Amino acid sequence: RFTREMMFPIIHFPNEVIIKVHAASLNPIDLSMRSGYGATALNMKRDPLKLKTGETEFPLTLGRDVSGVVMECGLGVSYFKPGDEVWAAIPPWKQGTLSEFVVASGNEVSFKPKCLSHTEAAALPYVGLTAWSALNQVGGLNQSNCSGKRILILGASGGVGTFAVQLMKAWDAHVTAVCSHDASTLVKKLGADDVIDYKSGNLEEQLKTLPLFDFILDNVGGSTEKWALDLLKKWSGATYVTLVTPFLINMDRLGVADGMLQTGVTVGSKTLKHLLKGVHYRWAFFMPSGPSLDEIAELVDSGKIQPVIDEVFSFSEVPEAFLKLEGGHARGKTVINVVSRQ
């Protein structure tokens, strides 16, 4: 709902900054959170000691990406000053960026790439950090060890997929991308070496005809997990990383303790099962990180990564933007201009 009655956010901790939002963007997690996804875990993170018994988290502002200008800094912030152009991805347990102002921790914020407008910059932080977490932090890939590695990206035309394709090409890997036929031109333009249309016949059979892979990034989940690990090179340190995990769903369904236990048992048993077959199985999550955004900004400014924007909406059109996102099959990102002139 579009409202003019929101409280002006205030700095509670010395390491926080208030950012005037110029542009934000939508991610699938916004749709999920709107339906209550992750409420158990996120409320625990917001208020671990249950101090605010009377208050709820509502009205909850969605939106994870921001590109804008620093308005005010807490006393502990030395790296930024009012007037700096910055970008950030705000974690899901905080109030979001579909707002005129947002509060972020200084360690979540980074200077915006100089070569991008706010509208373009807002398309990257959340998907960029999600892909960065999966490929670099969890997958162990970096600029010096990717050359010549065979990488498979399942779901390559969405926000995370388009970023991952570009990052892997920037690091000199061989990329095989899976998407639908109408997105193949886009994914090829981003540098993918092989593009496979998952609708043109049996995907598993098509992929089995190719040489084995060193690394698989799965943005799709579901039944792919049953057969995708067979496409990895055995006993060579090859890794499968999935971004589709039951962690928050388990906690919503079973409560915090049982949910964490169930999740631990699931990931533990799958990791062991696949380790015995000679491949690594991992889960990855979005992690807010200013330092990682600094590295992403360098890649953007050197022309190796560009934002992929599907459509731009004005601030008052956020409900229409959500409807568009619900339709699925986006080619890149849905961006919201909060300040009308960019």
Instruction: Tell me, yes or no, whether 218 lies in a domain.
Output: yes
Confidence band for 87, pLDDT divided at 50, 70 and 90: very high
CB atoms under 10 Å from CB of 154, counted, come to: 26
Domains contained in the chain, number: 2
Q: Are residues 266 and 163 in the same domain?
A: yes
Q: Are residues 154 and 251 in the same domain?
A: yes
Q: What sign results for the dihedral spanned by CA atoms 221, 263, 26, 291?
A: negative
**Mean pLDDT calculated for residue range 56-80:** 92
Q: Is the pTM of this model over 0.75?
A: yes
Q: Are residues 270 and 200 in the same domain?
A: yes
Q: What percent of the chain has pLDDT over 70?
A: 96
**Mean pLDDT calculated for residue range 28-47:** 83
Q: Are residues 113 and 82 in the same domain?
A: yes
CATH of the domain at 185: 3.40.50.720
Is residue 33 packed enough to be buried (19+ CB in 10 Å), middle (13-18) or exposed (0-12)? Answer: buried
User: Quick one: tokens of 56?
Assistant: 């709820």
pLDDT in tens, 118-174: 999 999 999 999 999 999 999 999 999 999 999 999 999 989 999 999 999 999 999
Q: Using CA atoms, how far apart are residues 92 and 61, in angstroms rounded to an integer? A: 10
Confidence band for 102, pLDDT divided at 50, 70 and 90: very high
Phi-psi region of 203 (alpha: psi -120 to 50; beta: other; left: phi over 0): alpha
pLDDT at residue number 334: 95
User: Quick one: tokens of 280?
Assistant: 């690594």
Which helix (H) or strand (E) is 251 found in, with range? Answer: helix 247-254
Q: Show the domain range for 32.
A: 16-124+306-337
pLDDT at residue number 131: 97
Q: Using CA atoms, how far apart are residues 219 and 248, in angstroms rounded to an integer? A: 16
Q: Are residues 163 and 252 in the same domain?
A: yes
pLDDT at 307 over 70: yes
User: Quick one: tokens of 226?
Assistant: 């049953």
Instruction: Tell me, yes or no, whether 131 lies in a domain.
Output: no
pLDDT at residue number 169: 98
Q: Using CA atoms, how far apart are residues 157 and 76, in angstroms rounded to an integer? A: 40
Give the gyration radius of the chain's Cα atoms.
Answer: 20
pLDDT at 332 over 80: yes
pLDDT at residue number 56: 58
